[in-house]
Structure 1
Amino acid sequence: MSSDHQSNILSVLITEILAQAALRPEFAFLGKSPSEARERLLGIEPGEKSAVAQIASDGLNLDQKSSLELLLQKELAQHGMSATIYFKRRNSFADRMTPPGNAATQPPPHRTGPFGVKMKLKPIPGVKKVIAVSSGKGGVGKSTVSVNLAAGLAAQGAAVGLLDADLYGPSVPLMMGLHGPLSISADQKMIPHEKYGVKVMSFGFMSDPYHPVIWRGPMVAKALDQLFYQTAWGELDYLIIDLPPGTGDVQLTLIENIPLHGGIVVSTPQAVALLDAHKGLSMFEKLKVRVLGLVENMSHFQCSSCGHLDDIFGQAQIEGFAEERKIPIIGRIPLHRRIREAADGGIPVVNIDPQFALYYMPIIEAVLRG
């Protein structure tokens, strides 16, 4: 079948699915009439893995887009077809901005904190303590620490949630052995996946793993707000938030919205990683977020054959960092094949290997004490 012919068939199918869905009360957001719903299909483009259907997302929130994508995939599958759903606004962000002179519609002022952050703290209903796991630099193993911390807390009997806040490169779904799509509750909230006793939410459940998310700050902030407050978390003792590296939009959106119980900084021992860890730690301190401690990941290389230990990144730097910044080292995790294999296999190593679970216990205990 030629790509043009496939695109034509997909176009007809999707427009009809949209038109029929608009007649159902739960999809009334698609438009006032079937014809208006049909117009939401902006086009079909060929893709590497499958055709990409562009759907107009004007007026739709994250919940509505998730339920619509689920419906489209289900209906297309019944016809032996599939497509990657890509939501796109018809109007640019500038077109949607409120005119400066319209003071009546301006949002109320907020207290401005350090770095110009607008502090508008609003707790997540049902969540007792929020712990942010941060790193200044990518590739230091922060997500591995977050996954094992969450699974370890759950093994201790705590009610735990894990939020993967890295919208551009979500890795928690792979490390937890989970994939989308998500279900929607009766009150139109996203129901997180659950595994190893942990409720897991990630933007990776709602995006195509082969297509990049190319979003500016306002879109990132909106998506995070919906992940925070439009997820059916239920009652949690701890919500672990796996932050992306750096000190950008995601970190500021989190800190200006969510009352944090504490933060954990993850770094490898080499100087180039600690240079960025200084920035992440300073961000927490400046915004008065209590830092529970520093996790030294890839602390040393442990040979899986002979057990020989080698401090390939050195040790003097991490000790000096902890002393200079007056922060305790609450965990030292080795660079070992077993940990990597467990992460790639979608299983937290704390659940399958008592020997390596011991490395994460000091981190788990630090959170329980805090």
Structure 2
Amino acid sequence: MSSDHQSNILSVLVVEILTQAALRPEFAFLGKSPSEARERFIGIVPGENTAVAQIASDGMNLDQKSALEVLLQKELAQHGLSATVYYKRRHSFADRMTLPDNGPTQPPPNRPGAFGVKMQLKPIPGVKKVIAVSSGKGGVGKSTVSVNLAAGLAAQGQAVGLLDADLYGPSAPLMMGIHGPISISADQKMIPHEKHGVKVMSFGFMSDPYHPVIWRGPMIAKALEQLFYQTVWGELDYLIIDLPPGTGDVQLTLIENVPLHGGIVVSTPQAVALLDAHKGLSMFEKLKVPVLGLVENMSHFRCSSCGHLDDIFGQAQIEAFAEERKIPIIGRIPLHRRIREASDGGIPVINLDPEFALYYMPIIEAVLRG
């Protein structure tokens, strides 16, 4: 069978699935009539026992996308196909603002955002200020900064929570020295662990540390929203969110849902890390998130034997970055064995060694001022 012929057969199949689904009340969001539902079909790319269905997602929310994806996967599986759904908006953001909503009533966007993000901000109950700690590149020490920032704020008498939002590679359980599953409240909400004066929630408490989380965007976004709103945070002055590296689904889900008081960008000083830091900073700026400052991690190597300082990653690049982007450097953290040992041992170095706590104090003060 030729690829074109196979594509035509699968197209007819998917269109029929959409037509029949539109007759069911739970899929009313597909359109007011079967013909509107059929118009959501964009195309299909067949493969060997696989198919990627392209569906127009205009007017659909995350739950509706997930429900339709499950239906298509179930129906196509009966034909021996492993299906994937690729959602694509057919209309521009401005056009979508005037389209009729065929699904459940949604609150209007609080404000428009860049990248087609629909800002429907919903505060986390009991949380006064949310601080997002971001990096464009992995391995620059963002989680170490997040953990010590949270512990440092708690040491200053603030009520603090830490949400480890890196669902693919959670590190807060190790760095905070917390192990074991979470508890569930009587109203079926998750109760965070508490240690070092910080309430901690991480997907790492609910997953096997030796097995990867192989989830696509909609599932990740849904899990993240549950961590935001289905956790018993209580009354918090600050919730520190340790974001995964990059500018993907997790970051956009956070920014389009949670009112952020400020963002912090973490980078090492070498050019390759700063290249990605530009992207993280631009994401905050375009989506109108106030940026509190830049943290330079691994600023220099400090020898544990003689105390000699060596700028092994250089300094000129970070200074040029800060000047170009008009962002203050609010912290310079050295590359030192003591910090690594504390993190691996599950104790924030800010609570373990007063000498190294001094490196994190400017970051804490910047957050308190902001």
Residue 78 of structure 2 aligns with which residue? none
- d(CA) in 1 for partners of 2:101, 2:246: 35
> Where in structure 1 are there 5+ consecutive unaligned residues?
1-88
Deviation at 1:125, TM superposition (A): 0.4
Deviation at 1:186, TM superposition (A): 1.4
Residue 290 of structure 1 aligns with which residue? 290
- d(CA) in 1 for partners of 2:107, 2:164: 30
- d(CA) in 2 for partners of 1:368, 1:180: 32
Amino acid at match of 1:333: I
Aligned partners of 2:265 and 2:281 also within 8 Å: yes
Secondary structure at the residue paired with 1:307?
coil
- d(CA) in 2 for partners of 1:108, 1:95: 26
Q: Which moved more, 1:172-181 or 1:223-232?
A: 172-181
Deviation at 1:188, TM superposition (A): 1.2
- d(CA) in 1 for partners of 2:271, 2:178: 35
Aligned partners of 2:160 and 2:239 also within 8 Å: yes
Secondary structure at the residue paired with 1:105?
coil
- Asked if residue 223 in structure 1 is aligned to residue 226 in structure 2, the reply is no
Residue 204 of structure 2 aligns with which residue? 204
TM-score normalized with structure 1 length: 0.73
Aligned residues: 277
- d(CA) in 2 for partners of 1:136, 1:282: 10
Residue 168 of structure 2 aligns with which residue? 168
- d(CA) in 2 for partners of 1:130, 1:94: 37
- d(CA) in 2 for partners of 1:270, 1:257: 33
Post-superposition CA distance 1:23-47 (Å, at most 9, x none) = xxxxxxxxxxxxxxxxxxxxxxxxx
Q: 1:323 to 1:190 in 2, by over 3 A?
A: same
Post-superposition CA distance 1:3-61 (Å, at most 9, x none) = xxxxxxxxxxxxxxxxxxxxxxxxxxxxxxxxxxxxxxxxxxxxxxxxxxxxxxxxxxx
Residue 367 of structure 1 aligns with which residue? 367
Residue 233 of structure 1 aligns with which residue? 233
- d(CA) in 2 for partners of 1:178, 1:287: 34
Post-superposition CA distance 1:173-222 (Å, at most 9, x none) = 00000022110111211000000000000000000001100111100110
Deviation at 1:245, TM superposition (A): 0.2
- Asked if residue 92 in structure 1 is aligned to residue 59 in structure 2, the reply is no
Secondary structure at the residue paired with 2:70?
coil
- Asked if residue 105 in structure 1 is aligned to residue 83 in structure 2, the reply is no
- d(CA) in 2 for partners of 1:176, 1:318: 29
Residue 53 of structure 1 aligns with which residue? none
Aligned partners of 2:267 and 2:277 also within 8 Å: yes
Secondary structure at the residue paired with 2:115?
helix
- d(CA) in 1 for partners of 2:327, 2:271: 17
- Asked if residue 341 in structure 1 is aligned to residue 319 in structure 2, the reply is no
Match runs of 1:68-83 below 5 Å: none
- Asked if residue 139 in structure 1 is aligned to residue 139 in structure 2, the reply is yes
Secondary structure at the residue paired with 2:129?
strand
- d(CA) in 1 for partners of 2:261, 2:107: 25
> Where in structure 2 are there 5+ consecutive unaligned residues?
1-66, 75-84, 86-99
Q: 1:226 to 1:269 in 2, by over 3 A?
A: same
TM-score normalized with structure 2 length: 0.73
Identical-pair percentage? 87
Deviation at 1:95, TM superposition (A): 5.1
Deviation at 1:108, TM superposition (A): 3.4
- d(CA) in 1 for partners of 2:266, 2:272: 13
Deviation at 1:364, TM superposition (A): 0.3
- d(CA) in 2 for partners of 1:147, 1:284: 21
- d(CA) in 2 for partners of 1:228, 1:348: 23
- Asked if residue 119 in structure 1 is aligned to residue 119 in structure 2, the reply is yes
Secondary structure at the residue paired with 1:124?
coil
- d(CA) in 1 for partners of 2:157, 2:71: 45
- d(CA) in 1 for partners of 2:127, 2:104: 30
Q: 1:153 to 1:109 in 2, by over 3 A?
A: closer
- d(CA) in 2 for partners of 1:93, 1:232: 33
Which 4+ residue blocks in structure 1 deviate beyond 6 angstroms? none
Deviation at 1:93, TM superposition (A): 5.9
Post-superposition CA distance 1:214-270 (Å, at most 9, x none) = 111100110001000000000000000000000000000000000000000000000
Secondary structure at the residue paired with 1:367?
helix
Match runs of 1:1-370 below 5 Å: 92=70, 94=72, 104-105=102-103, 108=106, 110-111=108-109, 112-370=112-370
- d(CA) in 1 for partners of 2:345, 2:73: 45
Q: 1:278 to 1:104 in 2, by over 3 A?
A: closer
Deviation at 1:133, TM superposition (A): 0.1
- d(CA) in 2 for partners of 1:284, 1:366: 17
Residue 51 of structure 1 aligns with which residue? none
Amino acid at match of 1:161: G
- d(CA) in 2 for partners of 1:313, 1:344: 23
Aligned partners of 2:296 and 2:331 also within 8 Å: yes
- d(CA) in 2 for partners of 1:209, 1:350: 26
- d(CA) in 1 for partners of 2:155, 2:240: 14
Deviation at 1:118, TM superposition (A): 1.4
Question: RMSD over aligned Cα, in angstroms?
Answer: 1.7
